[in-house]
Amino acid sequence: MNILTQNFNTPFHTAPFDQIKNEDYLPAFKELISESEKEINDIVNNPAAPTFENTIEAMAYSGEKLDVVSNIFFNLNSAETNDEIQKIAQEVSPLLTEFSSKISQNEKLFERIKKVFDEMSLRIPSDKKNQDKSADEKDNYKLNEEQQMLLNETYKGFVRSGALLNEEDKKKLEKINIDLSTKSLQFGQNALAATNAYFKHITKKDDLAGIPDAILSQYEEEAKERKLEGWVVTLQYPSYVPFMTYAENRELRKELALANGKKSFDGGELDNQNLIKEIITLKQQKAELLGYKNYADYVLEERMAKSPTKVLDFLNELLIKATPYAQKEIEELKTLAKADGIGEMQSYDHAFYAEKLRKAKYDFNDEELKPYFPLNQVQDAVFTLAGKLFGLTFKEVHNIPKYHADVQTYEVYEVQNQEPRAKSQESRAKNQDNENQQPITDNQQLKAILYTDYFPRKGKRAGAWMTSYKNQYTKNGENSRPHISIVCNFSKPTKDTPSLLTFQEVTTLFHEFGHALHGMLANTQYPNLSGTSVKWDFVELPSQFLENFCYEPEFLKTFAKHYQTEEVLPNDKIEKIEQSKNFMEGYQTLRQLGFGLLDMAYHTHPEEVNDIKSFEDAQTLKTSLYPVNPETAMSPTFSHIFQGGYSAGYYSYKWAEVLDADAFAYFKETGIFNPETAAKYKVLLSSGGTKDPMELYKAFRGSEPQVESLLKRAFGE
């Protein structure tokens, strides 16, 4: 019996990680794909006339078990992978893509969808044809706002997946999708393997001058794990970034920067340059088949921004504003470097001298602050914040299976009637999660299961992210609650110290928790409109919004306490943190704009990509503030756009900054813990993709977001 195809006999039907074997995956996928195909066939062959309920809604609830197993497998492929899982992924991805293509190209299914869509589009209350319909037929027109959104999105999804293509072109599109799936997966596997392949073994302590003791302990632990004497630095974020920030040995900084910049760009078996060309060519072919000029046009049709022109105008407007500030910042760094005898600063000098300048300006560095930010305190703080704003409580439990010993699990509850909330939220809160068999008291109900996974390891890709193992949805009156996960790469605790976070890592945890709140607070009817299932350039609003609280003295004092003495972070340090919020903001803005412009170029002009390095350099020329190294490139590890979902969408980080700056300005105006403001924002989070994001935002804020909010926060304009 395959555990993955059965109902999970675990608390809240959570993933039975402790029972799953790698050999379970492929048979489970095949069986569940077959079951899902049967569900679709039952919809197609229903003898009754197509209705919203028997066609659109039935589809929304189909394939649930397949979705759960897919989430388990691909989340593990990011957080706890190995050679065997990666091999299985190469087999599974084409199967899933083929299954998806079969659905999107099922002509009889699309006929039913189109009939419902066309009838709904013709709905006019005074239309005589409507008046002549039977009572049963009239019932088909009583759709609420969420149902109407589901209908529209379902129809558009099929059209955008090739439902209107002829048979020959449908087959072409299916092959393109399969190729894209496998090549994108290979891109990510190569980037991870290249990251893991490098390490620098250091035996002379003099070579580590300038590096704080806590980081040295981390490097020493890494060496011991590899059964080596001395210290080991890797290209994993918690190892690489501190080295580049504090190491006085410029030659070693150069060596590591070169290694980092050559990942998947060295002509070896893990090189991604040809994969990039193949991926963007396939995307262009897909766009043209579907009637679009390029892949960016195809993607942006379903974004708030709507078009490449609007995106480029937005990015270039910020570029004009930010460039003078960035240039001024770099000149300050060059002055410091010149005092050390460096005639021409390089990119690998930036973090080192930026840290020097920050210390000179604000009299602190990340290592000095780290003792005040032990991971457990920071996590408690973000839990407390969720309680103050949204009435959530978190209970750590030990009976939910985990995929690694480092993972922690929590039951998340909502305390009822504690704060004012919108009426729609009150009515939704009455839903009881019968599926999860969670008893609900008079004043609380289960909202979510939360997994946290904080430390780097060989099988985990770099970076930080939020994901879900199960979406929230409501069916037959039962509100099925989500299973959410936060994955990061913070420094592991040592025998002497707990995991201590840099302030940047503090904001990272808040960022990912903002995404998690979007998932945990979800209260929609359909799983594909729930939580973070929103327009891509809207999805970063909740995450970036929550980072703002890290800079609020009132809140910061509640958790920034020394892990040994419990001393609260001194006021002067808190003031410096607040003052330093926009430190190097010009530089960081140009860096992000460079990524966004490069992304748009790849997906608007793929025909110009002959040489990856030359193309990258040309597109990022206006945002480059240091000499370009001919031996390095970032495109071969630009997983956001070649593996993840940010193709033609990287601009959304800056786009969402406008939203988050404007939203937090509203909180500041009314009080950062104002219950009425928080209740309105909670409605925005809980609504997922059930409404147009701009309408959701205006309902919360009272107006459209203003770019001036971002400029004022960043540059004081």
Residue predicted with more confidence, 682 or 495 = 682
Is 522 found in the same domain as 405?
yes
Token pair belonging to 564: 């040994």
H or E segment at 380? helix 375-390
Given a contact cutoff of 8 angstroms between Cβ atoms, the answer to whether 492 and 456 are in contact is yes
363 — pLDDT class (breaks 50, 70, 90): confident
Instruction: Give the up-direction half-sphere exposure of residue 500: CA atoms within 13 A in the CB hemisphere.
Output: 24
- Location of structure tokens 């193709």: 647
Model pLDDT for residues 78-95, shown as the tens digit of each residue: 999 999 999 999 999 999
Model pLDDT for residues 277-291, shown as the tens digit of each residue: 999 999 999 999 999
Is 144 found in the same domain as 246?
no
Write down the catalytic residue from 146, 329, 505, 512.
512
What average pLDDT does this structure show over 571-585? 90
- CATH (domain of 391): 3.40.390.10
Residue 438 has pLDDT above 70, yes or no: no
Model pLDDT for residues 646-691, shown as the tens digit of each residue: 999 999 989 999 999 999 999 999 999 999 999 999 999 999 999 9
Within a domain: residue 274?
no
What average pLDDT does this structure show over 362-378? 90
What pLDDT shows up at residue 601? 98
Is 230 found in the same domain as 119?
no
Is 220 found in the same domain as 110?
no
Is 222 found in the same domain as 151?
no
Looking at 483, 517, 541, the residue that finishes a domain is 541
Token pair belonging to 213: 């003791």
Is 147 found in the same domain as 20?
yes
Within a domain: residue 529?
yes
Q: Note if 512 is an active site residue.
A: yes
Residue 137 has pLDDT above 70, yes or no: no
What is the distance between the alpha carbons of residues 317 and 321, in angstroms, rounded to a whole number?
A: 6
What average pLDDT does this structure show over 631-639? 97
Within a domain: residue 428?
yes
Instruction: Give the up-direction half-sphere exposure of residue 74: CA atoms within 13 A in the CB hemisphere.
Output: 21
C-alpha dist (Å) from residue 271 to 93, 261, 344, 633, 702: 21, 12, 30, 11, 49
Is 149 found in the same domain as 57?
yes
Is 223 found in the same domain as 154?
no
Please spell the DSSP secondary structure of 145-181, one letter per residue: HHHHHHHHHHHHHHHHTTTTS-HHHHHHHHHHHHHHH
The values of phi and psi at residue 296, to 5°, are -65, -40
Within a domain: residue 94?
yes
What pLDDT shows up at residue 494? 87
What is the distance between the alpha carbons of residues 612 and 271, in angstroms, rounded to a whole number?
A: 12
Residue 182 has pLDDT above 80, yes or no: yes
Residues belonging to the chain:
717
What average pLDDT does this structure show over 690-704? 95
- Strand residues in 328-464 grouped as ranges (E): 392-397, 408-415, 444-453
Model pLDDT for residues 208-244, shown as the tens digit of each residue: 999 999 899 999 999 999 999 999 999 998 899 999 9
What is the distance between the alpha carbons of residues 16 and 33, in angstroms, rounded to a whole number?
A: 20
Within a domain: residue 84?
yes
DSSP 404: S
Is 445 found in the same domain as 519?
yes
Is 142 found in the same domain as 252?
no
% of the chain beyond a pLDDT of 90: 84
Given a contact cutoff of 8 angstroms between Cβ atoms, the answer to whether 417 and 444 are in contact is no
> Which of 538, 581, 548 minimizes the C-alpha distance to 666?
548
Domain that holds residue 446: 372-541
Model pLDDT for residues 394-403, shown as the tens digit of each residue: 999 999 999 9
Burial 688-701 (b: 16+ CB within 10 A, else e): bbbbebeebbeebb
Is 135 found in the same domain as 203?
no
Instruction: Give the up-direction half-sphere exposure of residue 474: CA atoms within 13 A in the CB hemisphere.
Output: 16
What is the distance between the alpha carbons of residues 9 and 516, in angstroms, rounded to a whole number?
A: 25
CB atoms within 10 A of CB 427: 10
What average pLDDT does this structure show over 187-201? 95
Total domains present in the chain? 3
